[in-house]
Homo-oligomer: A and B are copies of this chain.
């Protein structure tokens, strides 16, 4: 995994902050001004590097049009806080990327840098295996309303092999949707838990992004 340089990270952070504050991306010249570059090409080079490293996607020719790949950012700058207890116990807090988007605007990238949800299970000294790459997803729509997952809830997704009955985040028509996975013999269905929706949603090609592990919801 190729690391980001300090300046690249700074530029990425500035872009995030700009989006968070203004709700739209900065132009190359905005970045140039911020970092006092004498040439736009300096910025251009860094953006190319960021794209090559996979943390940033650009749309060629389009203005102020970017997309941050949270997984890549997390890989390149993972935050792990470790508390050592008096005895052999320890607690790890691991930052997980926030992949969801909010209703009126852009993904709130300010949250992705902080600790949204944390793994708090005490770990034994020996079994310090790498935690799965979880991420959080804000739920849109009411497809899982009967499973008590409502629009606006946030779901913690973890990758892994899904089994029958799991609620999964699946890619359908380029959209990430939350459905329950139903396996009937060799057939696989996705079931929306909403009486108003078709009961079973047959799928041929299935891209499962992860399994919903927990929900954040109003009480």
Spell out A's residues near B (CB within 8 Å).
16, 19-25, 27, 59, 62-68, 70, 73, 93, 98, 101-108, 110-111, 113-119, 140, 150-152, 154, 156, 175, 214-219
Partner of A219, one of B67, B113, B217: B217
Known: A104-B16, A216-B218, A219-B217. A117 touches B152 (CB 8 A): yes
Q: State in angstroms the CA–CA spacing of A66 and B148 once bound together.
A: 34
Q: How many copies does the complex hold?
A: 2
Known: A64-B62, A104-B73, A219-B217. A117 touches B151 (CB 8 A): yes
Q: State in angstroms the CA–CA spacing of A16 and B136 once bound together.
A: 20
Q: State in angstroms the CA–CA spacing of A152 and B66 once bound together.
A: 23
Q: Is the interface of A mostly helix, strand, loop or mixed?
A: loop
Task: Name the residue of chain B whose CB is nearest to the CB of A110.
Answer: B21
Task: Name the residue of chain B whose CB is nearest to the CB of A138.
Answer: B114
- Enumerate chain B residues within 8 angstroms of A215, measured Cβ to Cβ: 218-219
**In the complex the two chains form, is B104's CB within 8 Å of A70's CB?**
yes
Give me the 4 closest cross-chain CB pairs, A-B, nearest first: A63-B63, A102-B114, A105-B113, A24-B65
Known: A22-B67, A25-B24, A156-B218. A114 touches B104 (CB 8 A): yes
